[in-house]
């Protein structure tokens, strides 16, 4: 037995030595299929990244960006525990020029504000609405000549949603990988670390070449006009800023309030909004929504009634609801009892009528009609290879259904390229002039699409639009 085992071991060792002499076994020539990756963009190494902390440095930087005529723009900010995000860093990149601007060291950012509103210079951003909101809040800046790569990706149907991460776009179109190790960094800390600077610059370094490739793809798909139309809202003043303080109550309004109660709601919301804006604190930190609604409905006349729902009962039972919310309301109202009672009494004298949602027209409920319209929306989106949200949202479909037989004003599906692609169909469906037909009719079913929009007219039925299968690849 021992002799056989030894012989077997010797054979195994000999086979192993022979395999090492021959080298590794040759792999099969058949290769697994792999997705085609874009050729990486070559970035010419330029001067080191500038860190701008002085006024003269900022003026010089802005002059260089104006000369370039276009640049990538991004910001780092802190949104937590604030009504308005706190700006901590501004990153820019143009050919041969990369810089980060330190707004914590600069008292005046007017040169960069003027550049953002300059229509002669192109600003390339990714999901730039949040960045422009910050500039608008600080100085009333309205951007001009903007290209947003996230919007462009949605237009060409890249991804299943309209919000596509920059990292995915850069990897897919530029062939570069972006690190996210500093994504949760403390951007208020000074001095900035080299890793923070590298991370910040990487978010703008590839924006220009990414823009170029997205434009080429849109041109090939004949959607250049879509791109131009989708960038317009970023340059419209009405899309920036908070509503007037006196309109703050509308976010909590509903048909359940009487006109007098709604008056108290309006005054109390205005008081809360003014304090939140002046202190840059979340509205809930001033007074939570539940407490605001409760006070407007009860309209207490004295401090005892004001605090009654938020105190423990004589038996020691805690108040109903969230104990932390009750404690917060009790603390805030105890400190501001006189002011809150005065605000509620002033509002109770007003008679504010309800003008919000809730008054539905007679006939089929808009919710049911919206579901019917959603069926055609999803089909048209799949045929175009885009996310349904790019063409219409649920609220927009409800607005179209509720306004019928009139056309809803200001909704996207009834404007521009969306009207041609989707909106006209929706109006025909609502009017009964066209029906969504499932299955083919006739003698040759294979020549007919399985789902189609058929118009009913005096000359008989005829197909307006049809679809054979699922979404087309962009």
Work out the mean pLDDT of the chain and round it to a whole number: 85
Specify the pLDDT at position 111: 97
* Least confident window among 239-248, 290-299, 430-439, 465-474: 465-474
Q: What is the pTM of this model?
A: 0.81
- Distance from C-alpha of 329 to C-alpha of 335, rounded to nearest angstrom: 10
Q: Which residue intervals of the chain bear CATH 1.10.150.80?
A: 245-348, 366-467
User: pLDDT band at 361, cuts 50/70/90?
Assistant: very low
Specify the pLDDT at position 426: 95
Dig out the tokens for 424 from the structure.
């006209």
What percentage of the chain has pLDDT greater than the value 70? 80
> What are the distances in angstroms from CA 233 to CA 52, 119, 240, 352, 412?
31, 15, 10, 32, 11
Across 453-470, b (16+ Cβ under 10 Å) vs e yields bbbeeeeeeeeebbbeee
In CATH terms, is domain 245-348 a member of 1.10.150.80? yes
User: pLDDT band at 438, cuts 50/70/90?
Assistant: confident
Topology given in CATH for the domain delimited by 366-467: DNA polymerase; domain 1 (1.10.150)
Q: Which residue intervals of the chain bear CATH 3.30.420.10?
A: 50-239
> What are the distances in angstroms from CA 417 to CA 161, 215, 228, 400, 454?
19, 17, 11, 17, 21
Residues in the chain: 474
Dig out the tokens for 196 from the structure.
């923070």
**pLDDT(208) > 70:** yes
Q: At 67, phi and psi to the nearest 5?
A: -65, -35
Could you report the per-residue pLDDT of 376-405, keeping only the tens digit for each? 999 999 999 999 999 999 999 999 998 988
User: pLDDT band at 457, cuts 50/70/90?
Assistant: low
Specify the pLDDT at position 4: 41
What percentage of the chain has pLDDT greater than the value 90? 68
- Distance from C-alpha of 99 to C-alpha of 61, rounded to nearest angstrom: 8
**pLDDT(39) > 80:** no
Dig out the tokens for 377 from the structure.
């929306």
Of 381 and 37, the structure prediction assigns the larger pLDDT to: 381
Contacts for 27 with CB less than 8 Å, ≥ 6 apart: none
Could you report the per-residue pLDDT of 216-225, keeping only the tens digit for each? 999 999 999 9
Residue with tokens 């019928």: 404
Specify the pLDDT at position 90: 98
Specify the pLDDT at position 100: 98
To the nearest 10°, the Cα dihedral for 271, 274, 278, 279? 50
Topology given in CATH for the domain delimited by 50-239: Nucleotidyltransferase; domain 5 (3.30.420)
């Amino acid at each position: 037995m021992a002799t056989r085992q030894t012989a077997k071991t010797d054979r195994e060792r000999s086979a192993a030595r022979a395999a090492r002499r021959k080298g590794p076994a040759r792999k099969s020539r058949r290769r697994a299929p792999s997705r085609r990756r874009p050729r990486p963009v070559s970035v010419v190494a330029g001067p080191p990244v500038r860190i701008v902390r002085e006024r003269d440095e900022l003026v010089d930087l802005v002059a260089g960006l104006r000369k370039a005529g276009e640049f990538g723009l991004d910001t780092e900010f802190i949104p937590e525990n604030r009504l308005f995000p706190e700006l901590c860093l501004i990153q820019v990149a143009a050919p041969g020029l990369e810089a980060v601007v330190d707004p914590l060291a600069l008292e005046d950012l007017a040169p960069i504000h003027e550049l953002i509103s300059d229509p002669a210079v192109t600003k390339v951003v990714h999901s730039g609405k949040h960045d422009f909101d910050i500039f608008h809040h600080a100085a009333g800046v309205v951007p001009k000549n903007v290209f947003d790569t996230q919007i462009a990706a949605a237009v060409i149907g890249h991804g299943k949603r309209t919000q596509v991460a920059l990292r995915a776009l850069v990897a897919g179109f530029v062939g570069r990988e972006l690190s996210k190790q500093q994504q949760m960094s403390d951007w208020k800390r000074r001095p900035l670390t080299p890793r923070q600077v590298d991370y910040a610059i990487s978010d703008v370094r590839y924006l220009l070449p990414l823009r170029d490739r997205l434009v080429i793809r849109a041109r090939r798909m004949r959607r250049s006009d879509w791109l131009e139309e989708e960038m317009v809202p970023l340059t419209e003043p009405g899309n920036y800023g908070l509503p007037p303080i006196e309109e703050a109550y509308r976010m909590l309004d509903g048909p359940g309030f009487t006109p007098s109660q709604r008056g108290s709601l309006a005054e109390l919301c205005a008081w809360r909004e003014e304090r939140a804006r002046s202190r840059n604190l979340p509205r809930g930190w001033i007074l939570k929504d539940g407490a605001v609604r409760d006070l407007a409905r009860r309209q207490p006349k004295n401090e005892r009634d004001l605090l009654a729902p938020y105190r423990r009962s004589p038996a020691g039972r805690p108040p109903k609801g969230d104990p932390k919310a009750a404690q917060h309301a009790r603390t805030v109202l105890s400190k501001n009892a006189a002011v809150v009672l005065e605000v509620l009494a002033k509002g109770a004298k007003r008679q504010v009528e309800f003008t919000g949602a809730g008054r539905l027209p007679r006939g089929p409920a808009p919710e049911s009609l919206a579901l019917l319209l959603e069926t055609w929306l999803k089909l048209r989106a799949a045929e175009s290879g885009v996310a349904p949200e790019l063409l219409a949202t649920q609220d927009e479909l409800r607005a179209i259904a509720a306004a019928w037989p009139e056309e809803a004003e200001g909704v996207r599906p009834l404007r521009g390229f969306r009207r041609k692609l989707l909106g006209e169909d929706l109006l025909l469906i609502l009017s009964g002039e066209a029906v969504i037909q499932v299955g083919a009719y006739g003698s040759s079913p294979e020549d007919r699409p399985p789902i189609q929009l058929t118009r009913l007219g005096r000359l008989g039925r005829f197909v307006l639009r049809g679809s054979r299968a699922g979404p087309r690849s962009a």
